[in-house]
A = this chain, B = another copy of it.
Amino acid sequence: MESLKQRRTIRKYQQKDISAELLNDLLETAFRASTVGNMQTYSVVVTRDAARKAKLAPAHFHQPMVENAPVVLTFCIDLHRFSRWCECRKASPGYNNFEWFVTGAIDALLVAQTFCVAAEENGLGICYLGTTTYNPQMIIDALELPQLVFPIATITVGWPDECPNQVDRLPIEAIIHEETYHDYSAEDIDRLYAYKESLPENKQFVLENNKETLAQVFTDIRYTRKDSEAMSEALWKAMKAQGF
């Protein structure tokens, strides 16, 4: 519990490898996570090779972790292996659709997060790259993913070379709803976001970006409607291209 409570994302790593033995042990542990129908509709691509990392880098907007971490893991939705098994066993698979895209994503993400917990408990640091769903086609190409395989989460892993402060979280009453969803009044929003808005780094963020509110930094600069609509289209197109 304590390591879960104290966790922080690590973006700087020591120049020190992760042994195949440790990595495989962590992955094997992660594969104990729940999976729909025990079908394990996921695969994990392990990137250690510098040339392959360089191929992945543009998909992740050249975030330095990709090339600096000893290991990059791409967790993929995988209905290909299961379908392949079916075809080898006189069975006709029907998993090339949206339901199984989502189910495979759930399977893959439970494994990814279990891996992260196990890795952190063993002293490793991890960072999720949100860029995975921005440029899926580039990742599909770089990792040579076949039909019915789709990248859903990328994690860089290594031995920590920094100890950043823990970032803020909303108070738990902002997230938890008893019995039914309770909508937020303007006063609720003021109260629940007060701490986040009061933080010096967030105030600095507003100033630097020449905005009036912190929310505007998100909507106008970090995560704009225009960008997310373009990404939605690219994501949808890549999903279709992979056969879902």
List B contacts of A186 (CB < 8 A). Answer: 88
Q: Number of copies of this chain in the oligomer?
A: 2
Interface residues of A in 98-129 (CB under 8 A from B): 98-100, 102-103, 105-106, 109-110, 112-114, 116-118, 121-122, 126-128
Closest to A153 in B: B106
Q: Does A61 contact B (CB under 8 A)?
A: no
Q: Please tell me if the beta carbons of B181 and A146 are within 8 angstroms of each other in the complex.
A: yes
Contacts of A170 in B (CB 8 A): 31, 40
Contact A235 B98 (CB under 8 A): yes
Which residue of chain B has the shortest Cβ distance to A5 in the bound complex? Answer: B29
The stretch of A43-51, A62-70, A157-165 in contact with B is A43-51
- A38 contacts across to B, CB distance below 8 A: 167-169
Contacts of A212 in B (CB 8 A): 90
Residue on B nearest A82 in the bound complex, by CB: B218
Q: B130 contacts A177, CB within 8 Å?
A: no
A235 x B99 contact (CB < 8 A): yes
The complex places the Cα of A94 from the Cα of B229 at a distance, in Å, of 8
A219/B32 contact (C-beta < 8 A), A46-B176, A167-B38, A179-B47 known: no
Contacts of A99 in B (CB 8 A): 133-134, 228-229, 231-232, 235
Q: Which 9 A-B pairs have the closest CB atoms?
A: A94-B225, A91-B215, A89-B215, A89-B213, A98-B232, A113-B113, A109-B109, A91-B219, A97-B232
